[in-house]
Structure 1
Amino acid sequence: MQSLFQILMLILDIVWFFVIAHVIMSWLISFQVLNVRQQLVGQIWYGLNRLLEPLYSPIRRILPPMGGLDLAPLVVLIGVFALRIILQNNIAAFY
């Protein structure tokens, strides 16, 4: 059962990495450091959007409009951290 715990923690770490990469990339695109018309940048950007949109869209429906500020990644990161805390506090159930 410990391997199940480690797999769940790994999945949460991967989700955390993808959300952070998406946020940083969105800033770089907004400040025109990266150009989506470049093939590699465009593929990474659209891939991250396709991976994370199923997580963001339900949250965006619940959150009120913030005038161009997207808080969905922040809510996802808080959710990932909350799940990590819950799993670590209940690690005894995995033994």
Structure 2
Amino acid sequence: MINEVLVPILVLFANVITTAVIVQFILGLLISFNVVNYHNQLVSALWTALNAILDPILAPIKRRMPNTGGIDFSPIVLLLLIQVAIIILSYVGRQVG
């Protein structure tokens, strides 16, 4: 039961969060290098939505991370934690299911 239903749903959720982190990173680079303009309504809406989704997840990681100056490593830590969680979930799913 867990292997057939719960694990794939949790892996799908993890993949959605991973995609959101990657899109936020790329959009942040495009904004900072003036490739896209933040005053564009679509860019602004997408940036605001991604921050609203990811800030509650990234905030606890940012609080525990040491100060590294201008570089934010919390998305990388989140991606690593998501991959570890997927590995654990697949292992538990195989053992239980």
TM-score range relative to shorter protein? over 0.9
For the pair 1:70 / 2:72, whether they are aligned, the reply is yes
CA distance in 2, matches of 1:44, 1:59: 22
Displacement of 1:93: 4.2
> Superposed, which structure 2 residues align to 1:42-61 within 5 Å?
42-61=44-63
TM-score, structure 1 normalization: 0.94
Task: Detail structure 1 runs of 4+ shifted over 6 Å in the superposition.
Answer: none
Structure 1 regions of 5+ residues with no counterpart?
A: none
- Write the letter of the residue equivalent to 1:18: A
CA deviation vs aligned residue, 1:61-90 (integer Å, no higher than 9, x gap): 111111110001001000110001111122
Counterpart secondary structure, 2:37: coil
Counterpart secondary structure, 1:90: helix
User: Aligned residue for 2:21?
Assistant: 19
- Percent identity reads 37
Structure 2 regions of 5+ residues with no counterpart?
A: none
RMSD over aligned CA atoms reads 1.0
User: Aligned residue for 2:88?
Assistant: 86
Whether the 8 Å CA contact 1:60–1:72 is kept in 2: the answer is yes
TM-score, structure 2 normalization: 0.92
If asked which structure has higher relative contact order (CA below 8 Å, sep 6+), I would say: 2
Whether the 8 Å CA contact 1:56–1:76 is kept in 2: the answer is yes
Whether the 8 Å CA contact 1:5–1:94 is kept in 2: the answer is no
